[in-house]
Chains A and B, each alone.
Chain A
Amino acid sequence: MEATFHNLILGFSTVFTPANILYSLVGCLIGTMVGVLPGVGPLAGISMLLPTTFGLDTTSAIILLAGIYYGAMYGGSTTSILMRIPGEAASVMTCIDGYAMARKGRAGPALAIAAIGSYIAGTLSVVGLMFLAPPLAKFALGFGPPEYFCLLVCGLVVLSYMTGGSIVKNLAMIVFGLMVGMIGIDQMSGYFRFSYGIVALGDGVGLVPVAVGLFGISEILVTAGSPEIREVLKPRLRDLIPSKQEFKDSIAPIGRGTVLGFLIGIIPGSAHIISTFVSYAVERRISKHPERFGQGAIEGVAGPEAANNAASEGALVPLLALGVPTGPVPAVLLAALMVHGITPGPLFIQEQPVVFWGLIASMYVGNMVLLLLNLPMVGLFVNLLRVPYRILYPTILLFCVLGVYAVNSSLVDVGIMSIMGVLGYLLRKMDFETAPMVLGVVLAPIIEFSFRQSLAMSAGDYSIFIQRPIAAFFLVIALIMILLSLKPLFIKKRDWRERLTEAQKDA
């Protein structure tokens, strides 16, 4: 406990420089814009803006990127409330009651409660992250290659189950991603694999071109040319302060949303989306007046918004402690950290305390910045929403090209981004999820390395994966998930996965 506080002071001493506070401010502001703009999710946003951090020192770069991450998570609520368009999938539930409130002239309190809920959830989740990540990292120091392999397999299977859509398609996407991740020089033998003489592919296919292509470019390809019919409700900013009753009604949902969001956020998959579903369902179930939900109940905004932000910070626990991203956005954050010479994992917290605790402290600052900055600036964000998409998408394309090129100064990467863009476009047409593929690409080298090392350790005996208790535990969880996914074959009932798929399509 004492050590934790000592480290936190170290973190704050790192963050409290004028430059770092400025980066936190800029990160939150850009992140909110990224979240507000339809078609630019946090993933494409972080990837596009990664080059802007190249000239910064590691801590400042991480602070800026983290600001973009949780700013984007917050920004989605603005479009949900004012336009009934979720800026990103996690804001789908906010649309229901947030927009209903806006139609009744209560957009201000809905935005304020979303901001306050996000702030409280974000701050409390950082406390959870602060206390949970270091012991988890310590525990993971005892993992050998078989444990790591089984952990990753388990993570990928859980991801395919929790992502929504067809589990077979999700598993196929993971395998496809792993295959793409095999391109380049084999770490153990030095063989060139599937690179067809292209020297630039020796280092493999980068995560940034894959992520920007699959998420950024494919989104542009799908949405460009579609008719623009946007009705933006203007919030009455004088009425931003919620009433006493609205405050009272929001406190418990924010608390429940925070706990639910943080715990669900640690699980791989569309955790931040699922957490908003669960939070909304819980609030409606325990409400004395469930009929108010859908008509502008403040609890329907407070709970999901808190859960969404708590989940996005919960996702940082496995990323920082184990080096295992649980979704595409943490995967891009991982890539961004690696560009700056940081490899998250069990040794990260021990070896880079300044960066880790600086990041933790920056989150406290960032959450405060989001609260103070975003409410007064809501008018600016509303104006941003009025920029026609036919002007917006060429600009987004420019930043995609710029972001991808600048990582390695390589046009091969721009080519890969284009190919991935077309692939993502076709995959969306065929109802495939692209998030599992991104995770496959990023985890391919670790998963292959630990698999081959495990077999070398056991002289080719596959039972090594079930003889070691931790490895066997992870495999059992993976097996349970696969069995659960077979349930629809026997029970014909609409389950939460179908509702999640619908929500993702709506977004």
Chain B
Amino acid sequence: MGAVSEKREGYNMTIDRLSGAFLVLLGLFVVWERRVLPLGTTSHPGPGYVPLLLAILLIIFGAILIVRGKGARPLRSVSWSEAPHAVAILGCCIFVTLFMETIGYRLTLLVVLGFLFGVMERIKLWLTLALTVGFAFGSFWLFDTLLRVPLPRGGWGF
């Protein structure tokens, strides 16, 4: 039993080993993707020359992290308590990326801010409405109307 737990301990993944492995994989991916770019010669390096050098460096650094990563923090010690909030915020960013030019800046911000204030943070309804409308329309007026920074209006001109 003791030997089993010791073996399990030995295989403990640390943050350095995991990140080192990612760096190695990323380096290998760049080496693979670079094959369509001419390497050139040392006297006239092509567009693939420097990316290849960088990929090799990344693989080396990743390997060092894997080799020296035993004493690093265990992966299970990383806290993900804020993850639900983070996922929601990220969802909002994706929503903005996909829809802001289609439905316009103000409508997008009404949806996003309303969701964050009202659903995620459970702020009182009147305050949610005031903040959402105020920020969505106020920021549009400040940037688009006053500072002449063009913001998307969407299909309905709104």
Contacts and interface: CB of A to CB of B under 8 A. Distances in A.
Interface of A: 51-52, 54-55, 166, 168-169, 171-172, 175-176, 178-179, 182, 186, 188-189, 191, 193-194, 217, 220-226, 390-391, 393-395, 397-399, 401-402, 405-406, 409, 411, 414-415, 417-418, 421-422, 425, 429-432, 448, 451-452, 455-456, 458-460, 462
Contact of B43 (A166, A186, A455): A455
B57 A406 contact: no
A175 B61 contact: yes
B54 A182 contact: yes
Given A401-B96, A406-B151, A460-B43, A179 B85 contact: no
A51 B149 contact: yes
B116 to A, nearest CB: 4
Given A55-B147, A414-B97, A448 B82 contact: no
Contact of A397 (B38, B57, B64, B92): B92
Interface of B: 15-16, 18-19, 23, 26, 30, 33, 37-38, 41-51, 54-55, 57-58, 61-62, 64-65, 68, 72-73, 78, 80-82, 84-86, 89-90, 92-94, 96-97, 100-101, 109, 112-113, 116-117, 121, 123, 131, 135, 139, 143, 147-151
B65 A168 contact: yes
Given A172-B62, A414-B97, A452-B49, A430 B139 contact: no
A397 B116 contact: yes
B129 to A, nearest CB: 13
Contacts of B41: 460
Chain B: interface secondary structure? helix
A394 B94 CA distance: 15
A236 B127 CA distance: 32
B50 A448 contact: yes
- Pick from A172, A224, A398, A422 the residue with the most CB of B within 10 Å: A172
A418 B93 contact: yes
Nearest to B44: A456
- Pick from B48, B51, B65, B84 the residue with the most CB of A within 10 Å: B51
Contact of A406 (B47, B97, B143): B143
- Pick from B41, B73, B96, B123 the residue with the most CB of A within 10 Å: B96
A151 to B, nearest CB: 17
Nearest to A440: B54
25 contacts: A54-B147, A168-B61, A172-B65, A175-B57, A178-B54, A179-B54, A179-B55, A189-B47, A194-B30, A217-B93, A221-B85, A224-B89, A225-B82, A225-B84, A226-B81, A391-B131, A397-B112, A401-B93, A401-B100, A406-B143, A421-B90, A425-B86, A430-B18, A456-B44, A462-B42
B44 A429 contact: no
A55 B149 contact: yes
A225 B79 CA distance: 13
Contacts of B81: 225-226
B82 A223 contact: yes
